[in-house]
Amino acid sequence: MASPRTKQPRKRKLAARWAGREGLSEDRAVSSQVLAQSYPSNNLPMAEQTIPATEPTQAAADGQPVIRLENVHKTYDLGEIQVQALRGISITVREGEFVAVMGPSGSGKSTVMNILGCLDRPTRGHYYLDGVDVSGMTKTELARIRNRKLGFVFQQFNLLSRTSALENVELPTVYAGLNPEERTNRAMESLTRVGLADRAGHHPSQLSGGQQQRVAIARALVNRPAILLADEPTGNLDSRTSVEIMHILQTLNDEQGLTIVLVTHEQDIAQYAKRTLEFRDGKLRRDNIIRDRFVAREVLQTLPTAEEQAAEDAEENARQEKLAGGDGAG
Ligand SMILES: Nc1ncnc2c1ncn2[C@@H]1O[C@H](COP(=O)(O)OP(=O)(O)OP(=O)(O)O)[C@@H](O)[C@H]1O
Ligand SMILES: [Mg+2]
């Protein structure tokens, strides 16, 4: 197995666009301080077999196509200028796949996720979701499909701050029209799946970043979606917590066959997926199958737990103090 991640840059990113449309904008009016992150755009560290981007990978999974983009273009019309965010994207994602979308800042990753998530429509081209062309649907029709078929996870968690974990997770079931008892049962079941049943009554501020992201994953799962879409879900988390999140995603994918599409800037996060799609300048440049997949469960065994790390730090501090004391006396 290749070496797992050792460090995690802390980043702040824009997820408010999605959050606002989901009606979850209470917490963060995140500014558009889009990350000016250097990305090795000319030298992408891809060790896997490369498949020409124009040929959608058929071998990646045996399942039925759940997502099919056909020559999708997206142009943002800003009056004076037009931004061509997507310039002819064709992708097929099959049931049970775990895809990591990569590429430099501004390459169109979030734009394509917005379209996959039925939050936005292509300017040109077609999007078939479960075989149905959704490209021409009205906003109301898209909202219904979104609630039924898709779950979302964002970098900023986007939880409602004055609301318990349980109530946060229940929220999408309100729109799905479930009765209150069924809603609570579903939300508890979902929290259990991410290992947080014992934190149901906690508010987001009483939870760690990783726990908040797990609540967000539980919320994304509560309506039993066919597809989970995650835009940089580990972008605000430290390395161990990131691997814990990837462990949850791998378990959902491996054991429950959940189809996952995840955006990440980080190669070592992408390495937990089964396939990578690399974007550049609004085009799909590469479509790779991951050969040496990281297994989060194994990687976690090699990383210190939070408690071990704290103990190590305390020991190191004590050692330094002793050294300093010794110097003073001598
Ligand atoms: N609502 C919008 N209006 C106008 N232009 C937009 C809008 N959203 C995105 N763009 C532009 O479209 C292009 C693609 O943006 P997108 O957000 O998809 O990039 P990204 O790959 O997700 O980048 P990052 O890694 O920084 O999140 C960029 O040039 C961006 O400035
Ligand atoms: Mg983005």
1 in a structural domain:
no
Q: What is the pLDDT of residue 4?
A: 53
Q: Number of helices and strands (H, E) in the chain?
A: 10, 11
**Residue closest to 231 by CA, chosen among 148, 317, 312, 157:** 157
* Same domain assignment for residues 238 and 168: yes
The strand pairing partners of 152, in sequence order, are 229
Under-50 pLDDT residues of the chain:
1-3, 5-61, 328-330
Tell me which of 76, 231, 263 to substitute to probe ligand 1's pocket, judged by most ligand atoms within 8 Å of the beta carbon: 76
Which ligand sits closest to the CA of 21?
1
The angle at the Cα of 63, spanning 62 to 68, to the nearest 5 degrees, equals 115
Q: Whose CA is nearest to atom 4 of ligand 1?
A: 76
How many whole angstroms separate alpha carbon 285 and alpha carbon 53? 5
135 half-sphere exposure, CB direction, 13 A CA radius: 18
* Same domain assignment for residues 275 and 195: yes
Q: What is the pLDDT of residue 305?
A: 83
- At 284, which amino acid appears? L
* Beta strand ranges found along 117-237 (DSSP E): 124-129, 132-133, 150-154, 227-231
Q: What is the pLDDT of residue 297?
A: 96
CATH number at residue 257: 3.40.50.300
Q: Whose CA is nearest to atom 6 of ligand 1?
A: 76
Grouping H, G, I as helix, E, B as strand and the rest as coil, residue 289 is strand
* Same domain assignment for residues 299 and 172: no
Q: Between helices 209-221 and 180-193, what is the axis angle to 10°?
A: 130
Give yes or no for residue 106 CB within 6 A of ligand 1. Answer: yes
Residue 35 CA: nearest ligand 1 atom is: 26
What domain count does the chain have?
A: 2
Give yes or no for residue 107 CB within 6 A of ligand 1. Answer: yes
* Same domain assignment for residues 213 and 305: no
* Same domain assignment for residues 279 and 320: no
* Same domain assignment for residues 289 and 301: no
Q: What is the pLDDT of residue 327?
A: 57
Grouping H, G, I as helix, E, B as strand and the rest as coil, residue 134 is coil
212 in a structural domain:
yes
238 in a structural domain:
yes
Q: What is the pLDDT of residue 30?
A: 25
2 in a structural domain:
no
Beta-sheet pairing, 49-52 with 124-129: unpaired
196 contacts 227 by C-beta, under 8 angstroms: no
**Host domain of residue 319:** 295-330
Give yes or no for residue 105 CB within 6 A of ligand 1. Answer: yes
Tell me which of 111, 113, 236, 261 to substitute to probe ligand 1's pocket, judged by most ligand atoms within 8 Å of the beta carbon: 111
Tell me which of 12, 87, 109 to substitute to probe ligand 1's pocket, judged by most ligand atoms within 8 Å of the beta carbon: 109
* Same domain assignment for residues 199 and 97: yes
Kindly report the pTM of this predicted structure: 0.79
Question: Would you call 279 exposed, middle or buried from its count of C-beta atoms within 10 A (0-12, 13-18, 19+)?
Answer: buried
